[in-house]
Chain A
Amino acid sequence: MIQIEHLSKTFGSEETQHHALVDINLTINDGDIFGILGESGAGKSTLVRCMNLLERPTQGKVLVDGVDATQLSDSQLRTLRRSIGMIFQNFSLFQQRSVLSNVMFPLELVRADAKQSEARARELLELVGLADKANAYPAQLSGGQQQRVAIARALVNKPRVMLCDEATSALDTITTRQILDLLKDINRELGVTIILITHSLVVARYICNRVAVIDAGQIVEQGDTATVFDNPTSDVARALLGLEG
Chain B
Amino acid sequence: MEAISAFFNEYGALLAGGTWDTIVMTGLSTLFAYVLGIPLGVAVVVTSPDGLRPNRAVHTILGWIVNIGRSIPFIILLVAIIPFTRLIVGTSLGVPGAIVPLVVSAAPFVGRMVEQSLLEVDASLVEAAESFGANMWQIVTKVLVRESLPSLIRGVAITFIAVFGYSAMAGMVGAGGLGDIAIRYGYQRYQGDVMIATIVILVVLVQIVQSLGDLAAHKLDKRNR
> What residues make up the interface of A, taking CB atoms closer than 8 Å to B?
52, 54, 74-75, 78-82, 84, 86, 88, 90, 92, 94-98, 105-106, 108-110, 137-140, 153, 157, 163
Contact = CB atoms under 8 A, between A and B. Distances in A.
Given A92-B127, A110-B133, 18 more contacts: A52-B131, A54-B131, A81-B132, A82-B133, A86-B128, A88-B124, A88-B128, A94-B125, A95-B147, A96-B147, A96-B221, A97-B222, A105-B132, A109-B129, A137-B222, A137-B223, A139-B225, A140-B225
Given A95-B147, A95-B223, A109 B134 contact: yes
Q: Is the interface of B mostly helix, strand, loop or mixed?
A: helix
Nearest to A105: B132
Contacts, number: 73
B130 A109 contact: no
B138 interface: yes
B23 interface: no
A73 to B, nearest CB: 12
B128 A81 contact: no
Contacts of A90: 124
Interface residues of B, number: 25
A86 B127 CA distance: 10
Contacts of B132: 81-82, 86, 105-106, 109, 153, 157
A81 B131 contact: yes
User: 4 nearest interchain CB pairs?
Assistant: A92-B128, A78-B133, A86-B131, A106-B132
B221 to A, nearest CB: 7
30 contacts: A54-B131, A74-B135, A78-B133, A78-B135, A81-B130, A81-B132, A81-B133, A82-B133, A84-B131, A86-B128, A88-B124, A88-B128, A90-B124, A92-B122, A92-B127, A94-B147, A95-B147, A95-B223, A96-B222, A105-B132, A106-B132, A108-B142, A109-B129, A109-B133, A137-B223, A138-B222, A139-B222, A139-B223, A139-B225, A140-B225
B32 to A, nearest CB: 27
Interface of B: 122, 124-125, 127-135, 138, 142-143, 146-147, 149-150, 220-225
B225 A137 contact: yes
Nearest to B124: A92
Most buried by A among B122, B132, B142: B132
B89 to A, nearest CB: 38
A54 B133 contact: no
Given A81-B132, A92-B125, A92-B127, A105 B142 contact: yes
A52 B131 CA distance: 7
A7 to B, nearest CB: 18
Contacts of B130: 54, 81
Contacts of A140: 225
A79 B125 contact: no
Given A88-B128, A137-B222, A137-B225, A109 B138 contact: yes
Contacts of B127: 54, 88, 92
Nearest to A139: B223
Nearest to B127: A54
Contacts of B131: 52, 54, 81, 84, 86, 163
Contacts of B150: 96
B222 to A, nearest CB: 4
Nearest to A55: B127
A137 B150 CA distance: 15
A95 B133 contact: no
A82 B16 CA distance: 58
A140 B221 CA distance: 13
